């Protein structure tokens, strides 16, 4: 099985170098290249890829559009960021599989492609590999990496939010937003991913559409059916719904 690769970078010389470095890998086929955001989004929309090599912080590229298009694919491609600076923390925060520093070293490229093969399920993983585990022949994902900060999209930039500044997280029309005192920010993570990656002692999944920062709760409004509504300490005094099951769990947590 060949790995179908899409190369995206605003530097044409960088694309040429990467294409050259990929030539020795017989199972990798470069099927698309883009040097700007419109080209990249068009290619992602109309073709399927095993892996996308993406220039980190490429000008005018909308991370939200890219992530949404990739996730809507029947088989989501692995994403490997390429950067000239040691900004690789952003790569993992944005759910990338790996990162490569320029100039790209062939050994690191080989390691990244090995991860792609594992991600796509076409390569077995040795027991000595500490990343994923194998059970009954099935590749199990590694435990999700904890987030100290959460990347969000804001006016074409990526802003990093500290956990203590997050009041609550919610979904709206299929998108996930993070509410702080200043604003609501769009994030690329799903609620389930954030629930796993944020501090379990600080954040509580109150509802299928909400996660709330326990330290930012101000009041609990009880209802006759045994549920509660959470009032948080933002300027609006936002009210967060709770399911009956979650209300019972929160009562036990608070000793009510």
Task: Please state the φ and ψ torsions of residue 182, each to the nearest 5 degrees.
Answer: -85, -40
> In this model, does residue 131 exceed pLDDT 50?
no
Range of the domain at 215: 149-254
Q: pLDDT by residue (tens digit) across 167-181?
A: 999 999 988 999 999
Domain boundary among 140, 160, 186: 140
| Same-domain check for residues 8 and 135 | yes
Q: pLDDT by residue (tens digit) across 28-82?
A: 999 999 988 888 888 988 888 999 998 866 666 665 556 666 666 667 788 888 8
Looking up residue 78, the CATH number of its domain turns out to be 3.40.50.2300
Domain boundary among 77, 111, 140: 140
pLDDT at 125: 43
| Same-domain check for residues 9 and 132 | yes
pLDDT at 135: 43
Which residues neighbour 179 within 8 Å (Cβ) at sequence distance 6 or greater?
A: 166, 167, 168, 169, 170, 234, 238
| Same-domain check for residues 89 and 153 | no
CB 43 within 8 A of CB 35: no
> In this model, does residue 232 exceed pLDDT 90?
yes
| Same-domain check for residues 111 and 154 | no
The total number of structural domains in the chain stands at 2
Domain boundary among 140, 171, 196: 140
- In angstroms, the CA 216 to CA 223 distance is 21
């Amino acid at each position: 099985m060949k790995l179908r690769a899409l190369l995206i970078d605003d530097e044409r010389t960088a694309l040429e170098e990467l294409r050259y470095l990929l030539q020795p890998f017989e199972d990798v086929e470069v099927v698309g290249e883009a040097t700007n955001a419109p080209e990249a989004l068009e290619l992602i929309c109309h073709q399927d890829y095993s892996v996308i090599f993406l220039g980190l912080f490429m000008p005018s590229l909308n991370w939200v559009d890219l992530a949404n298009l990739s996730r809507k694919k029947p088989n989501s491609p692995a994403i490997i960021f390429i950067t000239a600076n040691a900004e690789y923390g952003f790569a993992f925060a944005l759910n990338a599989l790996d990162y490569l520093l320029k100039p790209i070293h062939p050994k690191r490229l080989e390691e990244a492609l090995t991860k792609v093969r594992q991600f796509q399920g076409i390569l077995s993983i040795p027991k000595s590999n500490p990343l994923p585990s194998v059970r009954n022949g099935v590749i199990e994902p590694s435990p999700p990496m904890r987030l100290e900060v959460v990347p969000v999209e804001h006016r074409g930039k990526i802003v990093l939010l500290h956990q203590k500044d997050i009041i609550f997280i919610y979904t709206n029309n299929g998108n996930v937003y993070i509410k702080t005192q200043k604003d609501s920010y769009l994030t690329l993570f799903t609620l389930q991913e954030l629930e796993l990656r944020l501090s379990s002692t600080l954040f509580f999944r109150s509802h299928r559409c909400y996660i709330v920062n326990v330290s930012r709760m101000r009041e609990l409004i009880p209802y006759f059916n045994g549920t509660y509504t959470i009032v948080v300490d933002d300027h609006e005094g936002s009210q967060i719904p709770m399911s009956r099951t979650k209300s019972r769990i929160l009562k036990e947590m608070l000793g009510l």
